[in-house]
Chains A and B, each alone.
Chain A
Amino acid sequence: MGVGDAVKNLVIRNLSKTYFDVYAGTQVTAVRDVSLNVPESEFISIVGPSGCGKSTILNMIAGFIPHSSGEILVGGKPVNGPGPDRGVVFQSFALFPWRTVLENVAFGPKMRGVGKVEREKIAHEFLALAKLSEAAGRYPNELSGGMQQRVGVARALANEPDVLLMDEPFASVDAQTRMTLQEELTRIWEAKRPTVIFITHDVAEAVFLANRVVALSKGKVLDEIEVDLPRPRVWDDLHENEQFKSLTARVLQLVRSA
């Protein structure tokens, strides 16, 4: 929880996950021998086709499911169950329907024992960052999908996690909204510089957002590609950018060849 000088990095060593399929009675290896080093304030995207093990990796980092072998270290500490040092943004938003937008965003600080006045101040700050100030008093079901996910991002960030985990967060909104959300996420990342693991099957999205793209296939890391496109990144500039196009083509080829 961003205490003192603790390093907010993520180290994964030889991580594997084998599921036991109760109905088929067989073992399924979803992730094999994945190693990854994410320094503090880096934004990495993990991209790969459906079923390649992306969610499994993220759920293990989040501590939602146990790993079969290997090591996950966040800020040097091994992961053991879910915790506030790893904020999660879900594809299905997962906002608390019985709490207002403001209360949703203030939830993390509330769990930490921050007083009402102080945590609402924090929540207002992050709502402003996500351009949602006017929705503070509304309930999640009164918002559009795009707005709900902005609340999801604000809620995770308001808790100041060491690492922000995002599993296809923009997959269930329309294309225009998705582009806006992607631009806003890069803007927020530049403002707060959290360490981010972003999962997607959309190659262009992966390249647009990240400093580094990790290509995954059948539970294994194929390659890692550095993305040194200038920031701030906006789609109007990047659409025609030759470097962006060639990077996207490279990642796409990598993912498709496997």
Chain B
Amino acid sequence: MKTFFLTIWSGYVRLTARWPSIGSIAPFIPLIAAWWIITELQIFPRVFLPGPVDVVRSFGTLVYTGILPEYLQDSMVRLVVGAFWGIVLGIPLGIFIGLSPRAHTVLWPPLLFFQAIGDIAWLPILVIWFGYGLTTMTVIIVYTVIFPVVLNTVLGVRSTSITLHRAALSLGASRARLLWEVVLPGALPNIITGLRNGLGYGWRALIATEIIVGTSGIGFLMFDARRGGSLVEVLLGMIILGILWYIVDAWILAPLERATGQRWGLVTQ
């Protein structure tokens, strides 16, 4: 009996090694099946817990009417814009603080303080300053992305050995080259980890913000559906959130992290 299961398991492992996409989809099959069975058995009333078929049908309708693609695009653009500014502002700031002990002494405590305040806690004041709309959402997402990026960049810069700096300088590198050739690559695995965390938090903050102040986007779709009493669309929104983040994280960010840190031996598996 035991060997029977082991045989099946080893077959599965070999299958996913050959087609990794099977490995990312297969674990969800029992989950969907359970959901489907529960809704078919009518344990909960349909309006409280719609089934997979309803959600798929609603997906089709929303794609057909063009609402879903539009909202999806809005959310993704916001995430990309937030990530862009988070990177453009966060990495240089992190490098500066990481390189200068004085800047570190002065800026580190306020950095931790503002990180602790958290994204959503800013919403009430931001709504007063910038109103309901894009500016508020952008500020929130940049704010959320930037802290993990800065903090991890600082960590990466400070963990790069001083002897690597010395090696580069005595091989003729200028201070500017040093930044590009040693400081940045040395901190890169940490920067990507920071980015991965930052985007994860940012994604959640964005949805929350869309629910509260949005006029479009996946978060708004869910909020709007709840107002209309349609749980199908709320569930659809939740599933889309999960799938999107899974794709961004598992297919883009995690491989990037592995490609830098593990290849160079900076991170052990």
Contacts and interface: CB of A to CB of B under 8 A. Distances in A.
B167 A94 contact: yes
B185 A88 contact: no
Interface residues of B, number: 23
B114 interface: no
Contacts of B182: 96
Contact of A139 (B170, B185, B265): B265
Contacts of B265: 97, 139-142
Contacts of A10: none
Interface stretch (B136-144, B158-166, B192-200): B158-166
Given A97-B264, A139-B263, A140-B265, A92 B161 contact: yes
Interface stretch (A105-113, A125-133, A185-193): A105-113
Interface in A60-94: 62-64, 81-84, 86-88, 90, 92, 94
A159 B167 CA distance: 12
A32 interface: no
Interface residues of A, number: 29
Interface stretch (B13-21, B61-69, B171-179, B227-235): B171-179
Contact of A111 (B166, B173, B188): B173
Given A108-B172, A139-B265, A141-B264, A94 B177 contact: no
Interface string A42-76: 00000000000000000000111000000000000
A139 B161 contact: no
Interface in A1-20: 1
B163 A82 contact: no
A150 interface: no
A98 B264 contact: yes
A201 interface: no
B80 interface: no
Chain B at the A interface: mostly helix, strand, loop or mixed?
A: helix
Of A83, A90, A98, chain B has the most CB atoms within 10 Å of the CB of A98
B264 A82 contact: no
A108 B265 CA distance: 23
Contacts of A112: 172
Contacts of A84: 170-172
Given A83-B170, A112-B172, A159-B171, A96 B163 contact: no
A118 to B, nearest CB: 15
B170 A87 contact: yes
Contact of B185 (A83, A94, A98): A98
A139 B260 CA distance: 12
A107 B60 CA distance: 56
Contact of B164 (A1, A96, A108): A96
Given A94-B164, A98-B185, A98-B264, A86 B170 contact: yes
A70 to B, nearest CB: 21
Contacts of A141: 264-265
B264 A88 contact: no
Contacts of A155: 171
Interface in B126-173: 161, 163-164, 166-173
Interface of A: 1, 62-64, 81-84, 86-88, 90, 92, 94-98, 107-108, 111-112, 139-142, 155-156, 159
15 contacts: A84-B172, A92-B161, A94-B161, A94-B164, A97-B266, A98-B185, A98-B186, A98-B264, A107-B171, A111-B173, A111-B174, A112-B172, A139-B263, A141-B265, A155-B171
Given A94-B164, A98-B185, A111-B177, 12 more contacts: A1-B172, A64-B170, A83-B170, A83-B172, A84-B172, A87-B170, A96-B168, A98-B186, A108-B172, A111-B171, A111-B172, A156-B171
